[in-house]
Structure 1
Amino acid sequence: MAFHEVRFPANLSFGAVGGPERRTEIVAMASGFEERNTPWAHARRRYDAGMGLRSMDDLAAVVAFFEARAGQLHGFRWKDWSDYKSCLPSAAPAFADQVIAVGDGQRRVFQLIKAYRSGETVYDRPISKPVAGTVRAGVGGDEKFPDAQYTVDHRRGRITFHQPPETGAEVTAGFEFDVPVRFDMDRIAVSVASFQAGQVPDIPVIEVRV
């Protein structure tokens, strides 16, 4: 599958409904106890792009975007308005938002991650599609500067420092990010009359692994 580094119109994804999905396999024992396992290390997000449409012009924009992606064939970027920053929704990304690694004096390339904490449990989500111009990075509590001290691979979500961070130094980052997705169908069915009457089409979008 090819991936197009283009974002679904953000003004249309603003009204979309969706979020993370997990897959849990549950086996009920004869004793009444359960065994629960999951084949997924990471959640997969689903959205309904049809919920953000407000006018015929919006619908035309989605159809054009759908045709350019050839339906399910090509992936694209999606802005999840409920979760698109390394920090709290009310804050601006800062270089110390997320601890993404600890330096060992040799490694120079680091994957962006976002940590989700609840109690003592932490889930680290890999971030593969940071938004250009939003990534900030630091080492050992000091902010570093893009181009002069590091570069960002916006297609894979990786930071490469020109010099390896010293042993024991925390490598941190702040950023905005998109979700890599594709359309989850090869057709859009809509009636102009029903759309104008308030019935929006179902346009499912699903996260892809990249």
Structure 2
Amino acid sequence: MTDFHETRFPLDVSLNGRGGPERRTDVVALGSNRETRNARWAHSRRRYEAGYGVKSLAQLAAVIEFFEERRGRLFGFRWRDRADCSSARLGGAPSPLDQALGHGDGARAQFALLKTYGGSFAPYSRVIVKPVAETVRVAIDGVEKTRGVDFDVEATTGVVSFALSCAPASAAAVTAGFLFDVPVRFDTDYLEIDVSSFEAGAIPKIPIIEIIP
């Protein structure tokens, strides 16, 4: 992403923001009172409202500075979603066994980081493109490997690359654990902020939307 800045939105603000995944589904009611449903989007898209996290004028000033440097909607950036930023369930510490990335074939050396939701009916696999590199842990058939020796991870794409001598053997299960950010941008080119109202408790509107790679 050439129009993306590898910097994180002010953490003390984003951790108190609101938002989550959105999907687009067409629902058609039939004459029989039954309905048909069709998913228009293959992947969910997350929306956030950062204004809820702004509690002080210092935080507000930091957001304005961040907004100006991103030129409004022009440049993307990283966002920490407090509710969903770990490969582990319930936001726990990452384990190298958290998420399945695929199986080796003896030659394949690259695997994309994935997070899978559900499992009993229609599990959904989300591609993770903005991991926190130093938190990534990887295992082959349950045996953890060493980052920087056996494998490396590209923090800007989420691709795990194994050394040629460590390429997973045929049918070997590749798993990983990690923390991650969401690639986003501002969903407005205008921040309307009334400082007097803010001091009285008003919340500025600062919409954020996920960038789908």
TM-score w.r.t. the length of structure 2 is 0.96
Amino acid corresponding to residue 192 of structure 1 in structure 2: V
**SS state of the match for residue 133, structure 1?**
helix
From the superposition, tell whether residues 160 and 118 of structure 1 become closer, same or farther in structure 2 (CA, over 3 Å). closer
Instruction: Name the residue aligned to 2:30.
Output: 29
Q: Report the Cα distance in structure 1 between the residues aligned to 2:48 and 2:11, rounded to whole angstroms.
A: 13
Displacement of 1:88: 2.1
1:182 paired residue among 181, 185, 194: 185
Deviations 1:79-137 (A, max 9, x none): 00000000023521011111110111111110000011153331111101001210010
| 1:83-102 → structure 2 map (5 Å cutoff) | 83-89=84-90, 91-102=92-103
Structure 2 spans left out of the alignment, 5+ residues: none
Structure 1 segment 1-210 matched on structure 2, within 5 A: 2-89=3-90, 91-117=92-118, 119-163=120-164, 164-210=167-213
TM-score computed with the length of structure 1 as normaliser: 0.97
Provide the rounded CA distance (Å) in 2 between the counterparts of 1:150 and 1:205: 33
> What letter is aligned with 1:167?
S
Change (3 A) 1:149 1:51: same
Give the partner amino acid of 2:129. Answer: S
- Structure 1 runs of 4+ aligned residues shifted over 3 Å read none
Cα distance in 1, alignment partners of residues 129 and 91 from structure 2:
23
Q: Which amino acid aligns with 1:91?
A: G
Question: How high is the sequence identity, in percent, across the aligned residues?
Answer: 49
One-letter amino acid of the counterpart of residue 204, structure 2? P
What root-mean-square deviation, in Å, do the aligned CA atoms of Structure 1 and Structure 2 show? 1.1
Equivalenced residue count is 210
Please state how far the C-alpha of 1:33 moved relative to its aligned partner.
1.6
Gaps spanning 5+ residues in structure 1: where?
Answer: none
Distance 1:90 1:160 in 2: 25
What is the CA–CA distance in structure 2 between the aligned matches of 1:89 and 1:32, rounded to whole Å?
A: 39
Tell me, yes or no, if the aligned pair for 2:47 and 2:210 is still in contact at 8 Å: yes
